[in-house]
Amino acid sequence: MISPESIGTTVTFSKTVGEYDVYAFAGVTGDFSPNHVNHEYMADSPYGQRIVHGALLVGYMSTASVAMINKLGIDAVSYGYDRVRFPKAALFGDTLTVTYELVEVEPSGNRSKGKVTVTRQNGDVVAAATHLLYCFEKGGKADA
């Protein structure tokens, strides 16, 4: 179970997004939108260059959620993300930092909410969400 005293616990994960990351993600998901893989197409866009998949940023959020699970020493799974948004674009070569802060624990101790933000090196927020975490006991039945 997740202790209410854990509220305020924070973890971070940082990574510089390279060409390989975006193309590997496109290959795995099949999302070859020109927004992500066609430099010429995006050169004349308001961004001036290719942008990173928003779903890849959610993947980085997932990495931070695993770091939180490990830090708390609990058995848990992701229960979903609420209010996912991408206020600015993440660009190739950006160094992104995901910050995950545990902000709420249900009285039962088996569910929590985390505030997740992804910022690039200049401090711009490129993604944000509320992460829902479901804590389980091994050998029990999930109510999820």
CA distance 26 to 24: 5
pLDDT of amino acid 124: 98
Residue 62 within a domain: yes
* CATH (domain of 101): 3.10.129.10
Among candidate residues 6, 117, 15, the one with its CA nearest the CA of residue 70: 6
pTM, full prediction: 0.92
In which domain, by residue range, is 88 found? 4-17+53-135
Residue 81 within a domain: yes
Instruction: Give the count of beta carbons closer than 10 Å to the beta carbon of residue 116.
Output: 25
Residue with tokens 């070569």: 93
Residue 27 within a domain: no
Q: What is the mean pLDDT of each run of 10 residues along the chain (144 residues)?
A: 94 97 98 97 96 98 97 95 98 98 94 98 98 86 60
Residue 125 within a domain: yes
CA distance 52 to 92: 7
Number of domains composing the chain: 1
DSSP H helix total and E strand total for the chain: 4, 5
Q: Could you give the residue ranges of the DSSP H alpha helices within 30-102?
A: 34-37, 39-43, 54-72
Instruction: Please answer whether residues 113 and 129 qualify as being in contact, where contact means their C-beta atoms are separated by less than 8 angstroms.
Output: no
Token pair for 138: 């091994």
CA distance 118 to 98: 4
Residue 84 within a domain: yes
Residue 23 within a domain: no
pLDDT of amino acid 137: 82
